[in-house]
Amino acid sequence: MIQIGKRLRRQRENLNMTREEFAEKASISPQFLAEIENGKKGMSVDTLYKICKNFSISADYLLFGLLSNDTLSDSAKGVIGNLSEPFLSYTEDIIQIVNDIVSESKGKYKNTEK
């Protein structure tokens, strides 16, 4: 449950949403969302469905950490798919950091082209 909560929080933060905003759209309380994100409580299938549908988040990713990023090579997907915890979470964190760096550098590069 801790890893599911961590992945859910990461997705919420990627959407630049507060707990309150995310919880309202998911039809749950902000307190319940906090408990899910902190790994203290699980969620029902109904709640999982609402979250996945409303935010276009993969259930495979939330539940199992399976990355469905089409930009990864087949060999990278194979390696990542064979990782177990905690290495899968570390790898997700590294990929997210690299994604953030690339996104930030693209923004800075575009600003210098003008």
pLDDT tens figures, 50-86:
999 999 888 888 888 766 555 566 677 677 778 787 8
d(CA 51, CA 46): 9
pLDDT at 114: 47
Do 61 and 7 meet the contact criterion of CB atoms below 8 Å apart? yes
What backbone phi and psi angles, to 5 degrees, belong to 58? -70, 130
Say whether 89 sits in a helix, a strand or coil: helix
Residue 36 CB coordination number (10 Å): 23
* Token pair for 68: 């469905």
d(CA 36, CA 46): 14
Domain positions in the chain: 1-66, 67-114
pLDDT tens figures, 14-58:
899 999 999 999 999 999 999 999 999 999 999 999 999 999 888
**CA 77 to each of CA 20, 51, 68, 70, 72: distance values in angstroms, whole numbers, following the listed order:** 34, 25, 8, 9, 6
- The CATH architecture assigned to 1-66 reads Orthogonal Bundle (1.10)
| pTM exceeds 0.75, yes or no | no
